[in-house]
Amino acid sequence: MGRNQDTKTESTNIQQADRRCYKKSVLIGGGIFGLAVLVRILYLYESSSNPTFRIPIVDSFAYDTLARGLASGKGIGSGFFWQPFFYPFFLSWVYRLSGSSILCAKIIQALLGSVTCVLTFYLGKKIFDLRTGLLAGLITAVYGPLFFFEAELIAAGWAAFWSVLLILLFLNTASKQTFRSCFLLGICGALSTITRPTFGLFFFAGCLWLATNFFKRSTERSTPIKRLFYILAGFLLIAVPVASKSFSVTGRFSMLPYSGGINLYIGNNPNYAETVTIRPGSDWKQIANLPKQYGITSDARTEEAFFKQRFADFVLNQPVEFIKLLGYKTIQFINSREIPRNVDIYVFRKWSYLLRLLTWQVHGFGFPFGVLLPMALLGLVCQRRRLPVPVYLFLLLYSLSIILVFVSARYRVPVIPMLSILAAAGVNTLIRLIHMHSWRYLAVTGICGLGIVLLASLPGLFPEEKLNYEGELYYGVGCSLLEWDRIDEAINLYSKALDVNSKHAESHGCLAEALMLRGRAEEAISHNEKAVALKPTYAIAHNNLAVGYYQQGEIEKAIKHWKEALRLRPDWTDLHASIGKATRQKKHGEEVAEYIEMLRLNPKNPNAHYDLGTVFFRQRRIKDAIRHWTEAVRLRPGWPEALNNLAWILATSEKEEFRDPAEAVRLAERANKLTGSRKPGVLDTLSVAYASAGRFDKALKTAEKARELAAASGQKQLVADIEKHLELYKLGRPYRESE
């Protein structure tokens, strides 16, 4: 009896200890959450004065635009599958619920980041102990780059969240092996992959580890298979709808974005230093349009395959260079500084004392990663036997996935929570060595740590770090403002960008565009001239400079710059119309030569065919006019002007060999439908076509309606022409034009 009583007492004590431990964990978790929220809200308050806080730029601008479009009912377009799908979809729901509030989105992301800190605490506690988890949670709560990227309209905060949650789920599923945990793991694995595809390799490897674990611990063969089926079912629950929608929009049945090909190419080619520093704007468009230079213009799938093939060619044909590049990017990944991509975290320090305190660099050394990395490696080495397999898989495979593409600070963010746990373990190891007076081990540890700091800090500036990101920041905000027609504000920001970097061609070019909209033509020309001087391949600036010269009557200069823009962008159809407008002031022969040259550069340009047909019509070269107008209609079937002109010539030509009344009626009816039966000129053409086909009753009714509309709009000459046509119809005669 006494023994049973002792057993009950011991069981009760254990339960009470567990409850106390649970309460303690909850209190610590709540404290970490509160600190993390405080830090993030304070940062949001401080950084609200930075120009990008409510005016997103570059990738944030793209996500914001997609989200606003979906929230307003525009539907899911191809842009959702160019970048990973999850984040703009998430942002669209935030906008729907908050009235498109960027501040609300940032607050939600701050709360999500705080949850990540709590999950880091629980993961550290699960792997090691309460003290390690506490320290890891505190590190993530105040880690500058982490809360900086959580405040941006990008997926970095979500990626950090998934990294911790997935490892927790793998460990939980391995221990409990319930169907519910398997299903949840599959769902989160899919969500993480559509947030950042670099999670895919880790998730797949983790599932293989789980499968091995299931079969080892199960006596029945069917049970592990059922568990794996639940993981697959959870994954497919997310993956299949996303892939199906992608197929309906882009023709690709894939949950992964089609920017994967171009990103692989950017990070793996003989000119890596140039492609990895490619800037948003004309330079980016040039590389994105690379498939078109090889005649590949069909769809996203073939363009993605083009870039992947270029990547494969580099790996197979230059394997030594590829391996060297991987080593170089590995050094970037472990570097203590925060490598910029389109934004530089160090620029934003000027708007936040908190960020200034918690994120900085001195020469080659960067804080906090320069301290986190050596402490994490110490924890990894000293506690390697206590680390579960998913931790190793994540650190190795996620890091490898980033290094395989290209490295930047925001892509390194998801490893920070796990490194914080290892760093906390490293700190505890140091404390233990100090208590044990193990001075020899401490000395060896200090030397090794110093060596790691030097390795992570000694390399000079990488190509990405040599750019002027502050100037680009003002430039990006200016572009967003110009997109929203806030022209005067855009002019101010472009001017600020040039104050910081006077040699930024795009800032000159965009400032010129904004000035032109305000009627300040001379200033616009001056800035466009500077833009093309700084960057001769800047096609947009050449085009805008041509427009400015044309408006000032300097026709030859306008044509020169339009031709240069056309040489740089042969697919730019609007340029042909611009050149055509300018060359109409010349003789017909010279004008024809201009258009022939345009069509040589781009034979599938409907504008050039249309304008050349107009020239030939004025020269009464009817056969040539019909040929080019027919081609213009074929290339652009819904073009009312081209349809109308071709119908006119097929209905009115004096020579029977050129007439085709039935086709003229078909084309004219189509043009009339496209213009809503409200264009008197198009209705006149339709009446002429009916008369040519012998349908005089319809010709009379249509011509009368055309005359009424022309009179209402004050087109006196057209009214007079229509009345002449009416007289002919009343006599049963069609209208013919003499050759």
pLDDT tens string 244-260: 999 998 888 999 999 99
The residue assigned the tokens 């000119």 is 271
Q: Which of 200-214, 362-376, 615-629, 699-713 has the lowest mean pLDDT?
A: 615-629
Nearest CA to 682 among 630, 647, 717, 732?
647
Of the two residues 41 and 555, the one the predictor is more confident about is: 41
Amino acid at the residue 13: N
Measured between alpha carbons, how far is 470 from 481 in angstroms, rounded to an integer?
17
Confidence of residue 301 (pLDDT cuts 50, 70, 90): confident
What's the confidence (pLDDT) of residue 253?
A: 92
Residue 442: its pLDDT value, please? 79
**Is residue 152 pLDDT above 70, yes or no?**
yes
- Of 471, 479, 467, 474, residue with least CA distance to 51: 474
The span from the CA of 175 to the CA of 180, in Å, is 13
Give me the mean pLDDT over the 71-75 stretch.
89
Give yes or no for residue 590 having a pLDDT over 60: no
> Hey, what domains does the chain have and what are their CATH numbers?
21-250 (no CATH), 468-569 (1.25.40.10), 663-739 (1.25.40)
Q: What is the mean pLDDT of residues 291-315?
A: 82
> Could you give the CA distance from residue 413 to residue 711 in angstroms, rounded to a whole number?
68
How much is the pLDDT for 19? 74
Q: What is the per-residue pLDDT for 588?
A: 45
Find the range with the poorest average confidence among 24-38, 129-143, 473-487, 551-565: 551-565
Q: How far apart are the first and last CA of the chain?
A: 124
Q: What confidence tier does 298 reach under pLDDT thresholds 50, 70, 90?
A: low
pTM for this one? 0.78
Under the banding of pLDDT at 50, 70 and 90, the label for residue 17 is low
The pLDDT value recorded for residue 739 is 62
- Both tokens of 304, joined, read 């993605």
The whole-chain average pLDDT of the chain stands at 88
Identify the pLDDT of residue 602. 56
In this prediction, residues 179-198 reach a mean pLDDT of 96
How far CA 386 is from CA of 127, 201, 205, 379, 593, in Å, comes to 7, 23, 20, 10, 78
Residue 738, pLDDT > 80, answer no
User: How high is the pLDDT of residue 217?
Assistant: 79
Q: Which three-class secondary structure state does DSSP give residue 367?
A: strand
Element of type H or E holding 361: strand 360-362
The pLDDT value given to residue 543: 78
Residues 387-422 have pLDDT tens digits of: 999 999 999 999 999 999 999 999 999 999 999 999
User: Cα–Cα distance between 259 and 511 in angstroms, integer?
Assistant: 30
Confidence of residue 6 (pLDDT cuts 50, 70, 90): low
State the pLDDT at residue 288.
Answer: 83
Please write the tens of the pLDDT for every residue from 333-372: 999 999 998 899 999 999 999 999 999 999 899 999 999 9
Q: Is it the case that residue 606 has pLDDT exceeding 80?
A: no
Provide the pLDDT for residue 205.
97
Q: What is the pLDDT of residues 528-583, one digit of tens each?
A: 999 999 999 888 888 788 778 877 878 777 767 776 776 676 555 555 555 555 55
Per-residue pLDDT at 478 exceeds 90: yes
Highest mean pLDDT pick, 271-285, 411-425, 463-477, 601-615 = 411-425
pLDDT tens readout for residues 612-627: 677 678 778 888 888 8
What is the average pLDDT across 482-506?
A: 92
State the Cα angle at 245 between 100 and 258, rounded to 5°: 90
Residue 192: the pLDDT is 97
pLDDT at 186: 97
pLDDT by residue (tens digit) across 433-462? 888 888 887 788 888 888 888 888 877 789
